[in-house]
Amino acid sequence: MKLSASLSETNKYFKDLFSDQSDFMSKQLNLDGSEFELFYFNTLIDSELVQNYILKPLMSRPHAPIHDVVAILDYTETESLQEAVHAIMYGKTVLQRSGEAKLYLLGTDVKKERSINIPTNERVLRGANEAFIENLDTNLNLMRKLINSTDFVVKTFTIGRLSQTKVAMMYIKTIADMASVEEVDRRLRSIDIDYLDAPGEVDELIQENKYSLFPQTLTTERPDRARANLMEGKVVVATAGSPDVVILPVSFWSFFQSEDDYQNGFLLGSIFRVLRLCCFFIAMGLPALYVTVSGFNPQMLPLNFVNTLQSSLKYVTFPPFVEALSMMLLLEILREATIRLASPVGQTIGVVGGIVVGTVVVQSNLVSNTMVITAALTGLASFVMPSYEMSSSARLLSYPALLLSAVFGLFGLAFFFIIICTHLCSINTLGLSYYKPPFSLSDAKDTLFRAPTWSLTKRPKATAPSNRTRMRNPRGWKR
């Protein structure tokens, strides 16, 4: 429908469209012979803003051009009713003057957001204490403040037929590989969906290997982590309504990097990095190893240890596999319960789950002592990884490992690791390999261990950055 100059026609159009909406308002004004009408949702607008910066100035100078009167920065003129409808839905106030076939869209939406908090899911000892929040503009503001460069590009899209969710893609145009930037752009644009539930859905909709258990995008709530990844040439996708951003293309090794590594010395950082990698294997394979060693190949263990193991297994009726399975299930139940439980009751879980169940289960000879140790170690090891997604996949993979080793012993475990390794090698992210064994020194520098800062002069090759020079003369004072 074409916009007419008469207020009543516009009013009728909006009233018809929003006939069911009880919070849609229109307000007519007759100021000194000049007629105005305002359309807005009273649940979306900030009435203070409307009163002080639209109504008051209008009353004082009703005949002047709107542009000069209204004291609002977010100001657009349009002749399209469709655009006006969108604007109203976003919390803008639409103003029309009688006799003008023109609508004024004024940004008066109320800013309701929580303050920036400390990261709750990705804790570090040293490092920034800011986390993203649900508001996209605030998140972009955080990122812009961290990277004060014209090379830092933010592109926004609107995804979701119904929800019209704003999605922002960030990258650094002098570093990122333009091919992957365009690919992310293309994939994001092609999402046709009713509403977008970020970050999980963004993640799932744009990854290549649909059936892999391994996370192929890195999700983070830390602006500093997002920045570190941007600086390696990656793309960050932030979605309105979600305090997590998605980083891609990532390699397997990114899931073991933590901000802490770069804050401590490189020796400490490297040791912790190696520890996390070891924990990945422990989380995947320890229960399986326990089952093979106690049930299949006890000849691997020294005699004294076999005696110890035997004494703890003596009165346990179930085979090691059932023992291991039940303890791992218990661990998983505890984890899930701790997440869901209201925080005041959270302490109870520790006492009931950890102490009562753990002790009683051993005393009643349902599960052996060694198995409790194994399960606890597996759980702890899995939580060492800085990415929740990776730690979950490691823990979930321990089930097939357990099954294979329970049936085929050590050979089954070896088979499991062969398949996992092959699978890792086969995954692609944005056309780049996901897992690449760190073979040359330059590959191993920030993957297997954390090399000294001054030696990281080149960006890692894994994301194919267009500009690989990271630092030119980091220790310039020496000369």
Partner 1 sequence: MKEDAITGRQLFILIFMTQLGLEVMSLPHAQADIAGHDMWLSVFLGGLCAQAGIMLIWWLGSRYPARNYFAYVPQIVGRPVGAFVNLLYGLYYALSGLMLIMNYADVLNRWLFVFTPRWILILMIFIACGYAASLSLRRIAYIAQSYLVLSIIGILLIVGCCLYGPDVKNLLPILSGGWNPVVKGIYYAFSGYVGYDLLLYAFPYVKAKSKNRLLLIMTFANMTTILYYVLSCLICTTMFSLKQLKYIPEPIVFILKYYQLEVLQSLDVVFLIFYVFIVSDTAYIYFFLSAKAFVHLRSKGFGKHQVWVWAMVGLAFIGSLFFKKRSTIMNFSNMQDIGSVIMIIGVPAVLLIIAGLRGAGRNRA
Which residues in this chain contact partner 1 in the complex, by CB under 8 A? Answer: 297, 299-303, 305, 408-415, 417-419, 421-423, 425-426, 433, 435-437, 439-440
CB-wise, 107 or 409, nearer to partner 1?
409
Q: Which residues contact 351 (CB under 8 A, 6 or more apart)?
A: none
Say how far apart CA 58 and CA 476 lie, in whole Å. 61
Q: Please, what is the minimum distance in Å from the beta carbon of residue 444 to partner 1? A: 11
Picking from 238, 63, 69, the residue whose alpha carbon sits closest to that of residue 165 is 238
CB-wise, 350 or 437, nearer to partner 1?
437
Strands 165-172 and 75-78 turn out to be: unpaired
CB-wise, 173 or 423, nearer to partner 1?
423
CB-wise, 297 or 369, nearer to partner 1?
297
CB-wise, 26 or 209, nearer to partner 1?
209
CB-wise, 311 or 426, nearer to partner 1?
426
CB-wise, 245 or 390, nearer to partner 1?
390
For the chain, percent helix, then strand, then coil, each to nearest 5?
50, 15, 35
Q: Please, what is the minimum distance in Å from the beta carbon of residue 445 to partner 1? A: 16
> Which pairs with CB-CB distance under 8 Å and at least 24 residues apart come from 349-358?
357/330
Picking from 313, 268, 272, the residue whose alpha carbon sits closest to that of residue 290 is 313
Helix runs in 147-213, H state only: 178-189, 200-206
Say how far apart CA 10 and CA 4 lie, in whole Å. 7
Q: Please, what is the minimum distance in Å from the beta carbon of residue 439 to partner 1? A: 5
Q: Please, what is the minimum distance in Å from the beta carbon of residue 233 to partner 1? A: 20
Report residue 32 as tokens.
Answer: 């000194």
Q: Please, what is the minimum distance in Å from the beta carbon of residue 368 to partner 1? A: 20
Q: Please, what is the minimum distance in Å from the beta carbon of residue 301 to partner 1? A: 6
Q: Which residues contact 190 (CB under 8 A, 6 or more apart)?
A: none
Q: Please, what is the minimum distance in Å from the beta carbon of residue 419 to partner 1? A: 6
Q: Which residues contact 47 (CB under 8 A, 6 or more apart)?
A: none
**Distances from the Cα of 182 to the Cαs of 204, 234, 269, 446, 460, in angstroms?**
18, 12, 34, 26, 20
Say how far apart CA 421 and CA 169 lie, in whole Å. 32
Beta bridge partners of 432: 429
Q: Please, what is the minimum distance in Å from the beta carbon of residue 442 to partner 1? A: 12
Strands 235-239 and 245-248 turn out to be: antiparallel
CB-wise, 80 or 426, nearer to partner 1?
426
